[in-house]
Chains A and B, each alone.
Chain A
Amino acid sequence: MMQFMLLFSRQGKLRLQKWYVAHPDKLKKKITRELITTVLARKPKMCSFLEWKDVKVVYKRYASLYFCCAMEQEDNELLTLELIHRYVELLDKYFGSVCELDIIFNFEKAYFILDELVLGGELQETSKKNVLKAIAAQDLLQEEETPQGFFEDHGLG
């Protein structure tokens, strides 16, 4: 089971955080800070796995973003890499060649996509098509109820 997932930039800025275990806010911040430092200090040629505290961290860099998952000891590390890749593919399909800025400005969408892929720390859907279909349908629901009046700005803007 995935314990948490973090997305952060090469500069160490957090871009997304998803926690599947309950921790107080303070501890989450501490873990995030320490983990970002540790991962950023690793050289590009090193392997993607890191035994860190009691979790196994699997991370991969895509362009300027690091995708970082904390898994349990029993989990298949290589499969976690595939999971990360699947998420990136979905973001890419959704945004159309995704870049860091897309995720910064549409962070809620990135969360929505992740929530259709992973639930409670486990993969829920192995078909890319189904994930994107569910997201599109929900976006449509949202659009339908947003007023299209003259001075429209009821959405998140």
Chain B
Amino acid sequence: MAYPMYEVDWSVLPPEQNRRFNPAFNIATIKQVVNEAIERVRMPTPTRLRDLIRQIRAARTAAEERSVVNKECAYIRSTFREEDSVWRCRNIAKLLYIHMLGYPAHFGQLECLKLIASPRFTDKRVGYLGAMLLLDERQDVHLLITNCLKNDLNSNTQFVVGLALCTLGAIASPEMARDLASEVERLIKSPNAYIKKKAALCAFRIIRRVPDLMEMFLPATRSLLTEKNHGVLITGVTLITEMCENSPDTLNHFKKIVPNLVRILKNLILAGYSPEHDVSGVSDPFLQVKILRLLRILGKNDAEASEAMNDILAQVATNTETSKNVGNTILYETVLSIMDIKSESSLRVLAINILGRFLLNNDKNIRYVALNTLLRTVHVDTSAVQRHRTTILECLKDPDVSIRRRAMELSFALMNSQNIRAMMKELLSFLERSDAEFKAHCSSAMVLAAERYAPSSKWHLDTLFRLLLKAGNYLRDDTVSSTIQIISAAPTERQAYAAMRLWTSLERSAVSGDATEKQPLVQVAAWTVGEYGDLLVSEASNAISMVDEDGVDDFVRPTEEYVIDIYQKLLWSTQLSITTKEYLLLSLAKLSTRFTTRPSQDKIRVIIDTFGSHIHIELQQRGVELSQLYRQYAHLRPALLERMPAMEAPSGGARDDSDPETDAPLDSSHDAPHHRTDQDALLDLIIGSEPMSNGDAEHETPPPATNNNTSTSNDILDLLSGLDLSTPSVTAPAPTPVTNSVPASNLLLDGLFSTPQPTAPTGAQTETRVSALERNGLRVEFVVARGSAPGSATLTMRAASSARAALTDFLFQAAVPRVSTHTTSHTCHLAISTRSTFRCFWVLRSSWY
């Protein structure tokens, strides 16, 4: 595409365009002016920018505004079609205003380029402004603008160069960055500070866009720090910071500038008042903060560099005036640096004390920053942060959502087995009154914390029950299965206790009508009451103390009929999800063998029969199948509906003290908790012969929390499940939540009829180890172990990366012979960080029938 503007020969333009202010009046010029004036009276001038703004603002309705804008846009478009460029600058300026109001203005893009190519500074100024506002990286006009920029970067006027650099910094696409990097590099070496600073920031943006281009800027960069001009200094520090974050080699290269940085910082602090850079008594806080941040990066994990900056950090921390925001800004940055580098312990105490003061500050902003910093430093010194626990818990009650969010995350980071009881209490009441956006994240973090630090299993159960009550539908659905697993593995007395406790909650929700908001609770309660209904209604329940933490015993032993009435009420409710009803229906069937009196048996049968004609196919099938247990197969009923054997604890989520993750505090990065829960969820599903979890995985609307799981988004989980008659083959592409990828094939009764329990993957007897791949630092090996049940095998894939860079796009595909398998499940988690191993867990079971 030819670029039109270069073909314009300016000397032959119409007179209006060549008109310049000429002090020497002569007849010819007067004549020309008069002629032009006449010309202009004939052809009215376009509306002025300010007049247009006035007109638009005078519009009383949106429709009126639209009509003014449309009229003007139509006019502007028509002038664009003419090659006349006198009013182009004004028209673009108007268009930019119209653009800000939200109207389309893309048709001005090419006109901006024409303005940029004009020799007039006014045109260039407005043209570049328009380019920054109307173009973005995706535009194909970029080829054209690259040429204009190249010209202007070579201009003799510093302001023209400045405009070009500013535009390049704002809209540089990778191609533009490559094309113009050498120009920018040349300008960094310019003696003119005005150009130098802009070029340095341009280089910063270019490196951001195209990290490969960093090398060429290295030689010019270091000298930036020798300048006196603060603009050059701050842009230089910014550029170096970016380079250091970009590559470890560059970071090492710049270690030697630590003394220079310390000297600059020292001069800033010690220098007397300089009006040019003073901000409420602090000398250039902008530059100070940038230097402190670069020092932090340079001093991290480097004892020598840290040593060199210890003194200056102490000086900044003690000498900075804290009555104003500026002072606190610098202290905040200093604290971060102190905590990040290998600083002396006395300095760390000082830093934590500063944060303590921040936490008590009246200014909300300072409090927010304090919480934020504590969260970032909690891994360095937990005990020091623990001292502020009361204040932090107090912040949970703050009306400001930003502060609450920080306080919540910090609370989770501070939890340990000593303070879990008190913390959990606070967090439970926080959960109750918190906004919807918090509930999912908060409740799943609480589930994890309870699992990790529970002082007793009774406390653990009680906490889970409270969570089920308070988090309602925001609870992740894997909590349902993990709670059920815990109950099923508990001793009989605890099971009775669980049934009683859950019954009380279930009954209350059913009566008050809020069961729809607490479906996970209904599911767990239904399962538990179904399994242990006999314990619930028997005299034996009197022996169990139901006094809760507040000393209240609110349990009333229900009659069999009353239990069934509540079930009926729930089953006939229109708002409960299908999954919840499936839980209830199966639970009710189980109750038919738990409750012994004739009337209750009949009542149950009537309810089940009504589901034989249910509109939902899944429920209908269950209704029909279960009612058969009253007729043709009545003799099978007691055996089929026997109590579930204790379920295996999911190995990833169990409270296992040897697990290295257990000791680590809940990480501030959200990855860690989610990471674990994903694993839990899958492992729960592996054990999923327990009938409830099947429908669960497929039908339940995904809980809001699944959006958060960042940890699984990178790897592609490809699961080719066995094709087994009715089994749908499910292939899960990369970012889908893992829980969805489990084939929900075994319907309710499939699980029921299968008496043998699947063996735990760990119950291996013999192992064969095969190294499958060892290339480029990636090692993959398979461990095949015979399962304890005949015909089953466990195949564990271990992949470890020894590469320094993070492993991305890891794809693991498993193809399974169709005859041999009923269910394939695997969990695959891949830590984003370097050199970590991840496990792929893959269980084949063929012995289900």
Contacts and interface: CB of A to CB of B under 8 A. Distances in A.
B169 interface: yes
Interface in B155-172: 157, 159, 162, 165-166, 169-172
A128 B53 CA distance: 29
B724 interface: no
Contacts of B201: 119-120, 122, 124
B17 to A, nearest CB: 10
A15 B405 CA distance: 30
Interface string A94-110: 00000000001101100
A21 B400 CA distance: 29
A129 B194 CA distance: 13
A104 B122 CA distance: 20
A124 B338 CA distance: 26
Contact of A142 (B51, B125, B276): B125
A8 to B, nearest CB: 10
Interface string B44-70: 010011110100010000000000000
Main secondary structure of the interface of B (DSSP, over half): helix
Contact of A78 (B132, B169, B325): B325
Contact of A76 (B101, B126, B204, B329): B329
B826 interface: no
B205 A120 contact: yes
B783 interface: no
B402 interface: yes
B299 to A, nearest CB: 16
B231 A124 contact: yes
A142 B118 CA distance: 13
A138 B121 contact: yes
Contacts of A14: 100-102
B462 to A, nearest CB: 33
Contacts of B219: none
Contacts of B293: 74, 76
Interface string A118-141: 011111111111100010011001
Contact of B173 (A22, A25, A77): A22
A120 B36 CA distance: 43
Nearest to B329: A78
B41 to A, nearest CB: 9
Given A150-B33, A157-B49, A123 B286 contact: yes
A145 B20 contact: yes
Given A120-B204, A125-B197, A147-B20, A46 B364 contact: yes
A112 B202 contact: no
A41 B547 CA distance: 44
B90 A156 contact: yes
A49 B371 CA distance: 12
A143 to B, nearest CB: 9
A78 B129 contact: no
Contact of B122 (A77, A124, A155): A155
Interface residues of B, number: 87
A108 B37 contact: no
B307 interface: no
Contact of A82 (B102, B157, B326): B326
Contacts of B104: 25
A110 B506 CA distance: 62
A63 interface: no
A146 B129 contact: no
Nearest to B89: A156
Contacts of B326: 82
B616 interface: no
A104 B171 contact: no
A141 B159 contact: yes
A147 B19 contact: yes
A53 interface: no
Contacts of B277: 126-127
A120 B200 CA distance: 10
B235 A127 contact: no
Contacts, number: 204
A81 interface: yes
B842 interface: no
Interface in A49-89: 49-51, 74, 76-79, 81-83, 86
Given A127-B230, A156-B89, A76 B368 contact: no
A19 B100 CA distance: 12
A134 B21 CA distance: 24
Contacts of B169: 20, 119-121
Interface string B255-297: 0000000000000000000001101000011110100010000
A47 B121 contact: no
A22 B171 contact: yes
B231 A145 contact: no
A46 B400 CA distance: 5
A134 B333 contact: no
A73 to B, nearest CB: 10
Contacts of B51: 157
A107 B90 contact: no
Contacts of B33: 149-151
Given A49-B402, A112-B129, A78 B328 contact: yes
Given A104-B53, A130-B231, A156-B48, A120 B102 contact: no
B20 to A, nearest CB: 7
A18 B204 CA distance: 18
Nearest to A149: B33
A43 B364 CA distance: 12
B322 to A, nearest CB: 12
B49 A78 contact: no
Given A78-B369, A122-B204, A29 B19 contact: no
Contacts of A83: 286
A124 B198 contact: yes
A48 B365 CA distance: 6
Given A49-B402, A112-B129, A22 B138 contact: yes
Given A111-B129, A126-B286, A120 B159 contact: no
A1 to B, nearest CB: 8
B231 A127 contact: yes
Given A47-B364, A120-B205, A156-B126, A126 B230 contact: yes
Nearest to A151: B37
B19 to A, nearest CB: 5
A17 interface: yes
A50 B437 CA distance: 14
B191 interface: no
B442 to A, nearest CB: 15
B136 interface: yes
Contacts of B231: 124-127, 130
A147 B399 CA distance: 58
B589 interface: no
A83 B226 CA distance: 25
Q: Closest 10 A-B residue pairs measured CB to CB?
A: A157-B48, A120-B169, A22-B137, A47-B364, A78-B329, A120-B205, A46-B400, A22-B136, A119-B201, A125-B231
19 contacts: A23-B136, A24-B136, A25-B104, A43-B400, A49-B365, A77-B372, A78-B369, A79-B289, A79-B333, A82-B279, A115-B166, A120-B170, A122-B201, A123-B238, A124-B201, A126-B234, A127-B230, A138-B125, A147-B19
Interface of A: 1, 14-20, 22-25, 29, 43, 45-51, 74, 76-79, 81-83, 86, 104-105, 107-108, 111-112, 115, 119-130, 134, 137-138, 141-142, 144-151, 153-157
Interface of B: 19-21, 33, 36-37, 40, 45, 48-51, 53, 57, 86, 89-90, 93, 96-97, 100-102, 104, 106, 120-122, 125-126, 129, 132-133, 136-138, 157, 159, 162, 165-166, 169-173, 194, 197-198, 201-202, 204-205, 208, 230-231, 234-235, 238, 276-277, 279, 284-287, 289, 293, 325-326, 328-329, 332-333, 364-369, 372, 399-403, 405
